[in-house]
Chains A and B, each alone.
Chain A
Amino acid sequence: AQTVTQSQPEMSVQEAETVTLSCTYDTSESDYYLFWYKQPPSRQMILVIRQEAYKQQNATENRFSVNFQKAAKSFSLKISDSQLGDAAMYFCAYRKNSGNTPLVFGKGTRLSVIA
Chain B
Amino acid sequence: KAGVTQTPRYLIKTRGQQVTLSCSPISGHRSVSWYQQTPGQGLQFLFEYFSETQRNKGNFPGRFSGRQFSNSRSEMNVSTLELGDSALYLCASSFRTGNNSPLHFGNGTRLTVT
Contact with B along A32-73 (1 / 0, CB 8 A): 010001000011111100100000000000000000000000
Query: Is B48 engaged at the interface, CB distance under 8 Å to the other chain?
Result: yes
Q: Are the C-beta atoms of B105 and A44 separated by less than 8 Å?
A: yes
Residues of A within 8 A of B58 (CB): 102
Do A108 and B106 touch across chains, with their CB atoms under 8 A apart? no
Complex: chain A residue closest to B102, CB-CB: A47
Count B interface residues, CB 8 Å: 26
Shortest CB–CB separation between residue A98 and chain B, in angstroms? 7
Taking CB atoms, residues of chain A closer than 8 Å to B81 are none
Closest to A96 in B: B99
Stretch at the interface among B17-25, B64-72, B90-98: B90-98
Contact of A106 among B33, B42, B108 (CB under 8 A): B42
Across the interface, B103 reaches (CB within 8 A) one of A97, A101, A103, namely A103
A75 at the interface (CB under 8 A from B): no
CA distance A50 to B33 in the complex (A): 19
Q: Which 9 A-B pairs have the closest CB atoms?
A: A102-B45, A45-B105, A105-B43, A100-B55, A43-B108, A107-B42, A100-B56, A44-B107, A97-B99
Chain B residues proximal to chain A, CB less than 8 Å? 3, 33, 35, 42-43, 45, 48, 50, 55-56, 58, 88, 90, 92, 97-100, 102-108, 110
Q: 7 A-B Cβ contacts within 8 A?
A: A43-B108, A44-B106, A98-B99, A102-B45, A103-B43, A105-B42, A107-B42
